[in-house]
Every structure is written in structure tokens, then in C-alpha cells.
Structure 1
Amino acid sequence: MVILTIILLVGRRLFLRNQKVQRRLRLSAIFTNITHELLTPLSVISASVDKLRDTEPQYSHEYDLMQFNIQRMVRLLQQILETSKSDAGQLRLLVAQGDVMKYIRQTAECLEPLIAKKDMKFSINCQPESMMGWIDTDKLDKIIYNLLSNAAKYGKEGGTVSISAITNDKYDEVEIKVSDDGDGISAKQMKHLFKRFHDGDYRQHQTNGTGLGLSLTQDLVYLNRGTITCHSEEGKGTEFIVRLPIKKEAFAPDQIDEKHKIDFNIPKNTIVDINTIVPDVNADPEDPIEDGYKLLVVEDNLELLMLMQQLLKTTYHVYIARNGAEAIKVIHEKELDLIISDVMMPEMDGIELTKAVKADPNYNHLPIILLTAKTQEEDEKEALQSGADEYLRKPFRLGDLKLRIDNIIENRKRMQTEFSQFSAEEEIKHIAKAPSPDEAFVNQVLANIHKHIDDESYDRDALAADMGTSASTLYNKLRSITGMNVSAFIRDVRMKEARRLGMENPNLRVSDLAYSVGFHDPRYFATCFKKQFGIQPKEFLESLLNSKQKGPGR
């Protein structure tokens, strides 16, 4: 009876394991089929981009962005395909003869732009410089790409990444080392380093990953009859060491391609050259638009950042930053009208950036549009509670983004028009009402000007001192809200007050009216008055007296 029970339990376990394997194989087949189906339209899109490049070459920047993202998608799909083959035991090795060191150097050089995106120093060292051997270039390409892209992903900005390749005394093996000086890997993470779908520290580093790269790399190394090890120390960096045999005798006859040697003239598809699209994040806009609104776009995905800059710069001045910390620097250096920011970014995310801007009285007038891939209502609520003016989910249409930008700009223009059309009485009433933050700021400005309305020396610097801010901050904020610079705004308030005083007492002399609103030169006052109201102050006062003498109804 006991033996029968054991047999039944073992049989059940074998059945369940077989079912699990069958499900995994079915899923693997589905992934493989889907991947093949997706690679075909991507090839068509890539060919179409090349055709457009020939017919309309002036859009080379946009074509670079398209091809860059096509290559990224192709590589991700190929990685899924290779993983499915590995699960099904279908990975095949085919080695050919060639200059191993030359191939490693050329492959690594193709990834240099990827590392340059993070301002990292990159070194390649091959000893000897040239050495013949037998390698599967497709598999070695994927090994080098995964290790170097990992180093770029987890290395620190401005740090170093290096790859070295050396041979042993017998010249039958190559040792490849890839190292970075990033945060390193914890002992807990190290235990699961090569486990499939292990997501590492993607969340901590605010980056993206599939959890396939290192697992597939290990499979490819083992397929090459090699070894892979990792040494890492938290806070000091990480080093991967791959040892691969390169002698013909190390491989089975069906793994050797005798007919074809490695062709170094075939262009690499490891990564397209993105040097042309790596930006100077603090550069002034090219071809500035006259009187254009100034936007700051904050996005850590370089391709999306550059695409948004290209699409928006036809209508607005566009500055760019790759995280919240860079954005703060730009905000302090540039005169801005609006900020568009991604939510998930390294160093300082979009929520933190929004809170920092809205908490700073010098910049809290700047409207902020947050972009995010998050879809939960709680996320939108958190964004709006942080002070964001608008919230847009990814993927979004450019038209939707421009609509939100234009709505904010139109609201700001409407506010500027209202302030410009206020009479002196309306300005005083406006000071008394419960205001929004922008209105509260303008109300404070108005109150200070009215308090010193007859002081001819009360200028931009004096007003800034009373507001407790710098002259440049006062200028930026007042211009953003009212459309006027500080001197023009003070003059506007003086003119409206002069008109109000004249209506109250038409018997005033022009000189007295000028002195009462802070003008020491009555002739200059008369010029400003006519420019604003289209009539000389003397004629204005006389018309008021005539109307008063005629009386109502006459």
C-alpha cells in the first residue's frame, strides 16, 4: 500500500511537471511566432525610412531617431527569440575563422554612443591587438552588447566603463572583462543574478529591463563552451569575466563553418550611431521663434526627448533636460513659460520636481504638465496634488499635448489681457478679493506700487526689494503673468492712477497730476499718457470739465 502511494505521488509529480513543460513550450512557440511576425513589419518600416532618406534627405535627424528605435525593437525581439530557442534547446552554434580581437574591438566601438549618453568614459583594451581564432559572431555580439549595455545602465553618470580582451599562453582562449564603477550588486541580488526574469535593481536605478539579458548571456556563454563569473562590491562597481575557447578543436564538426571567414566589411547593427542626436541639454533653441513661448521638456528617454524637441520647436522655444536635477538648473538659468516633465526619472522624478517648483515662490507661477506611463487613478491624483496643472498618460498624441500647452498659454494670455484692461479702481478691487497664487503675487505688486505711487524714484529694484525677491525673478514672474516687464507695469499702474485722479478732479493742473503719480517731468508724463490713452492729459481734463459743465441730459 505504501509503495503504491509512493508510485502514485511520483506519477502525479511527473504528470504535473510534464504539463508545466508542455505549457512552457506552447508559450515559447507563441512568443517565437509573434516575434517573427513583428520582425517583418519592422523590416518594412526600416526600408521605408531608408527610402524616405533618399527622397527627402533634409530630415536626417528624424530618420536617425526612427532607425535608432527600430534597431532597439529588433534587438529586444531577437533577445526574446533567442530566449525561446534556449528554452526549447534549439540554440545552435556556428563558428567561423577570423580576427577575434578585431571583432571584439569593432563590436565594442559600436556601443560607444550608448555609453556616451551618460557622459561616461569608455576604454577598450585588446591584448594582443590582433589574433586569429574561431567564434560565432552572432552569439559574441549578443554577449558583448548585453554586458556593456548593463554597465551603461547601472554605472554612475560621469563614471567609467571598460572592456578588455586578453588571451592565455596557449592562444586557445580569450578572456573578456567588462567593468563599471557603479553602485555594485548586493549579495542578495548576486544569488539570483543569472535567473530568468530577475529584474535586478531596475526600480532603484529608474531604468527599464526585461530580466532576460544576463540569463540569455549565460546561456550563450555556455553554448560556446565557456564560463561567466561576476565580481561586485557595493559602492565600488561590478566586473563580469567571460572566458571562451577560440580553437577549432574545441567545437564539434557540425558547429564549424569552414567555407566562410568573418567579414569585417559587413556593417554592424549593434546600435546605430546616435552621436548626431545626443543633445547639449542646456543649449538655447536653434532658429528661435520671434515672441515664442519658452518650454522646458524634461524626459530621461533620450529618443523621446529629442523627438519632442523636434516636433515642438516649430511652434515654441524648447529647452531640454534629462531629469529633475538638470531641470532645476535650467529653470534657474532660463526665462520659461511652461514645464513638461515625465514622472519616472532618475535623480529627481517628475513629482519631486513639481513639488520643488511649486514650493519656490520665485518659480511657482510656472505651469507644469506631467507625462506618465502609469494608469492608476491614484497616480493621477498624486500628480495633481503635487501641483501639476495637467496630467497626460503615455502613449499620447502630439496633438493632445499641444492642446494642453495651448490651453495653458491661452489662459495666461487671458489673464494678461484682463490686467492690461483693468482701470485703477478695478485694480484696487482686485487686491481685495481672494486670489489664486498668480493673482496674489500681482496683487502684492500692485499694493506696493500704489503705496509709492507719488515716489518718482520707486523703480524695478525698489519694487523687487519690497517683494523680497531679485530683480530678475520679479521680471520673469511678472512678464509671465502679465506680459509686461517691471518698468512697463509700474508705468501702466501710474498712468491708470493718473486717469482715475483726473476723473475725480478735472480741475487739476497737468503738472500736479504728473507729480501725484511719480513723474517729475510733466512733458514726459504727457507723452506717456497720450501713448496709453490716445489723448493729451490737458485735452482729457478739459473734456471732463466740459462734460461736467453741460450736466446730464444736456
Structure 2
Amino acid sequence: EKGIGLAYTAGLIHQMSGKMHVESVPGKGTSILVDIPVVLIENKTVLKNIDHQTEEIITAENVGESGVRSFIRKERKPLILVIDDNVDLLRMLEESLEPDYNTVTATSPLQALTIATQHDFSLVICDIMMPEMNGFEVIESFQSNILLSHIPILILTAAADKNIEYTGYKKGAVSYLSKPFKIEELKIKIESILSFRRELIYRFQSDKDFHYNEITCSAKDEQFLQKAVSLVHENLDNVNFDVEMFCKNMNISRTLLHTKLKNITGISTTEFIRKIRLNKAYIYLKKSSMSVSEVAYLCGFNDPNYFSKCFKRAFDVFPSKVKQVS
């Protein structure tokens, strides 16, 4: 039986300062009338948010035939996109996750794919069985799109079939949850995925010699990162190699390059170039007979003093000390 229950509905209506009137006649049926306060402002409908702390702007852009609806609060929380054709489930997840995460929900996978390119999502939760486009196709669409390939995907399904779970992982999903599930179980899954992503970013920032497949979630991201690192290596001693030249050689816009690097590595494009240079400098200092100044110039720094400051900030040791130990 579908539905979220009369008591649950009444609770939601009450939290939105609304009223529910129920009339029931034995043998004839039940009629329910719901009143929710609405204010029109500049042709936009504003409803009170469930927790009374924010307002939700509902327009044709985010609620319409597509069924897209969003709760995005001002606090900096992880942003999660939830895709499912079950509206009741979406509303339940929206309310349950809201204290810890910002959420955008969509009943239309095609619309969700468009929305995914417009926001910086930390995670996608996607149902497998949907009429317009199944979850496997959604995963493939994310994995093949350079704008979206870094976003981890958790799949949901009501089908008790291990083959579905296996196929989901094979397509690129990072986790799996069977319906019905407890909300606490989902929250544990979400936090585990986000913690792992933070660990990957930390690994990139702390390791001087990393493997691309260890810090990326997709083959496309692995190729992207490998190309980015190779470009910096190819221009290691070029002091004029900057963000503009980097973008031109990567053949993508400055905004996209920044977004991708930020999501994969946690740092900006400028910081990325500097880190790759400093990583190489550390290796040279450990394994070669070059002086600190020679290494600085070789790695694209035209000021040895500035190089030493950057090196100390990155590795908490001066390059001269690394040279002495080696």
C-alpha cells in the first residue's frame, strides 16, 4: 500500500502552520481538506519550510511537470541529489536528511541530469527502477560526463536481486541499499561515502607520490587527473605556466577546471600547479645532488626564498633540511 500515513501527513501539515479537516461517513468514504498558508511574492510561491528556519522558494523552475523540488539552506552542508519516481519516498528522505544535508529531489532522471550540472553535489542517491530512465542509465550518464563523473552515486532498489547490486557497482555506483531501509542505515551509508571522499582528498594532499586510481571515483576522472599532472610536469621549469595556459592545454574552461580539481583534490587550480611542482621538488631534493636553488628553478620557481616558504608550508620542513637528511 502506498502513502505516508494520515498521522504523518497531519504532522507535516501542522509543522507548516497548516490545518487538516477530516470527514468520514461509514460505508460512504472519507474526505480530507488541507489548508496551508501561501504568500505570493513577485509571482513566486513561498511556503514555510518544515523546520520554520528558512523559506523554500517554489517556482516553475524547480517544481513542475518534472517533479523537481529542493531544500537548499544557507549553511554550508553537503548537497545531495535524490532521484526517485516515488514522491512519498522523496518527501520522507527530504525531511529526514535535512538536518544534516541540503537536498534536491527529482522524480525525473532527465531533469535531474540537467540540475546536476548546475550545482556542486557531494552525492547522488538514485533509484534503479524508474520508467523514464533506469538507474543504470543514470549512472552511465554521470560517469561519461566530465562535469559529473566525480560525484559518487548510491543506488536504491526494491528488487532483492544480487545481480542488480553487482551491475550497479560495475556501472560505477559506490554503494547500494535495498528497500525498505531504515533512515539511520541510509545516513550511515551517506556518511561513509562522504568520509571516504574526504579521505581521498586528504590522500592527494598529503602523499608526495600517489596513484591516480587511488584518489578518483571513475575512469574519466583518473584520465583527467593524469592529464592534468602530466601537463604540469611537462611545464615544470616554465615560470610562465599559469592557470590560463593550463586551461588552454586541458581544452576546458577556467571554471570547469577549477570545479573538477576542487572536487577531486580539494584545492584550487593555482594550488594544484604549486603542489605538483613541490611534490617533484621534494623528490629531486631527496634523490639528486642539486642544490635548493637549482631545484627551485627547475620546478618553476624564480625566487628560491619564495620556494622555501611554499615548501615549508606544504611539508612542514625547509628544503635545506630535506637536502641534509638525504
TM-score (norm. length: structure 1): 0.46
Q: Taking structure 1 as reference, are residues 505 and 349 closer, same or farther at Cα in structure 2, changes over 3 Å only? A: closer
Aligned to 1:517: 299
Letter of the 1:269 counterpart: I
Structure 2 residue 240 is the aligned partner of structure 1 residue 457? yes
Aligned to 1:528: 310
Alignment of 1:80-229 (within 5 A): none
**Would you say the 8 A contact 2:284–2:290 is kept in 1?**
no
Q: Taking structure 1 as reference, are residues 396 and 446 closer, same or farther at Cα in structure 2, changes over 3 Å only? A: same
Tell me, in whole angstroms, the C-alpha distance in 2 between the residues paired with 1:393 and 1:419: 32
Structure 2 residue 261 is the aligned partner of structure 1 residue 478? yes
Structure 2 residue 152 is the aligned partner of structure 1 residue 367? yes
**Would you say the 8 A contact 2:213–2:222 is kept in 1?**
no
**Of 272, 280, 296, which aligns to 1:489?**
272
Tell me, in whole angstroms, the C-alpha distance in 1 between the residues paired with 2:78 and 2:11: 32
The alpha-carbon deviation at position 490 of structure 1 amounts to 1.4
**Would you say the 8 A contact 1:339–1:369 is kept in 2?**
yes
Q: Taking structure 1 as reference, are residues 382 and 540 closer, same or farther at Cα in structure 2, changes over 3 Å only? A: closer
Alignment of 1:293-442 (within 5 A): 293-345=78-130, 347-423=132-208, 426-427=209-210, 430=211, 437=219, 438-442=221-225
Instruction: Give deviations 1:508-548, integer Å, cap 9, x for gaps.
Output: 252x33221112333332321221123444x436x61xx57
Tell me, in whole angstroms, the C-alpha distance in 2 between the residues paired with 1:47 and 1:514: 66
The alpha-carbon deviation at position 342 of structure 1 amounts to 2.4
Letter of the 1:287 counterpart: K
Q: Secondary structure of the equivalent of 1:295?
A: strand
Letter of the 2:105 counterpart: I
**Of 540, 544, 548, which aligns to 2:321?**
540
Q: Secondary structure of the equivalent of 2:117?
A: helix
Instruction: Give deviations 1:378-409, integer Å, cap 9, x for gaps.
Output: 44444444432222222211111112212222
Tell me, in whole angstroms, the C-alpha distance in 1 between the residues paired with 2:33 and 2:260: 48
Bigger radius of gyration: 1
Tell me, in whole angstroms, the C-alpha distance in 2 between the residues paired with 1:441 and 1:47: 47
Q: Taking structure 1 as reference, are residues 491 and 420 closer, same or farther at Cα in structure 2, changes over 3 Å only? A: same
Q: Secondary structure of the equivalent of 1:269?
A: strand
Tell me, in whole angstroms, the C-alpha distance in 1 between the residues paired with 2:229 and 2:74: 37
The alpha-carbon deviation at position 270 of structure 1 amounts to 4.7
The alpha-carbon deviation at position 464 of structure 1 amounts to 3.4
Q: Taking structure 1 as reference, are residues 269 and 371 closer, same or farther at Cα in structure 2, changes over 3 Å only? A: same
Q: Taking structure 1 as reference, are residues 457 and 320 closer, same or farther at Cα in structure 2, changes over 3 Å only? A: farther
The alpha-carbon deviation at position 274 of structure 1 amounts to 9.3
Tell me, in whole angstroms, the C-alpha distance in 1 between the residues paired with 2:242 and 2:106: 35
The alpha-carbon deviation at position 340 of structure 1 amounts to 0.8
Letter of the 1:409 counterpart: L
**Would you say the 8 A contact 1:323–1:346 is kept in 2?**
no
Tell me, in whole angstroms, the C-alpha distance in 2 between the residues paired with 1:338 and 1:484: 19
Q: Secondary structure of the equivalent of 2:32?
A: coil
Letter of the 1:310 counterpart: E
Q: CA RMSD in A?
A: 3.9
Tell me, in whole angstroms, the C-alpha distance in 1 between the residues paired with 2:306 and 2:92: 51
Q: Taking structure 1 as reference, are residues 461 and 403 closer, same or farther at Cα in structure 2, changes over 3 Å only? A: farther
Work out the percentage of aligned pairs sharing the same amino acid. 25
Q: Taking structure 1 as reference, are residues 364 and 431 closer, same or farther at Cα in structure 2, changes over 3 Å only? A: closer
Q: Secondary structure of the equivalent of 2:258?
A: helix
Tell me, in whole angstroms, the C-alpha distance in 2 between the residues paired with 1:401 and 1:274: 32
Tell me, in whole angstroms, the C-alpha distance in 1 between the residues paired with 2:286 and 2:301: 18
The alpha-carbon deviation at position 478 of structure 1 amounts to 2.4
**Would you say the 8 A contact 2:94–2:103 is kept in 1?**
yes
Unaligned runs of 5+ in 1: 1-34, 36-41, 54-59, 83-90, 92-137, 143-267, 549-554
Instruction: Give deviations 1:53-90, integer Å, cap 9, x for gaps.
Output: 5xxxxxx14x97xx99x98xx99xx9xx96xxxxxxxx
Tell me, in whole angstroms, the C-alpha distance in 1 between the residues paired with 2:135 and 2:93: 17
Q: Taking structure 1 as reference, are residues 306 and 459 closer, same or farther at Cα in structure 2, changes over 3 Å only? A: farther
Alignment of 1:491-506 (within 5 A): 491-505=274-288
Letter of the 2:282 counterpart: R
Tell me, in whole angstroms, the C-alpha distance in 2 between the residues paired with 1:462 and 1:283: 38
Letter of the 2:182 counterpart: R
**Would you say the 8 A contact 1:431–1:446 is kept in 2?**
no
Tell me, in whole angstroms, the C-alpha distance in 2 between the residues paired with 1:306 and 1:432: 36
Q: Taking structure 1 as reference, are residues 432 and 307 closer, same or farther at Cα in structure 2, changes over 3 Å only? A: closer
Q: Taking structure 1 as reference, are residues 460 and 319 closer, same or farther at Cα in structure 2, changes over 3 Å only? A: farther
The alpha-carbon deviation at position 287 of structure 1 amounts to 3.3
Letter of the 1:454 counterpart: D
The alpha-carbon deviation at position 410 of structure 1 amounts to 2.3
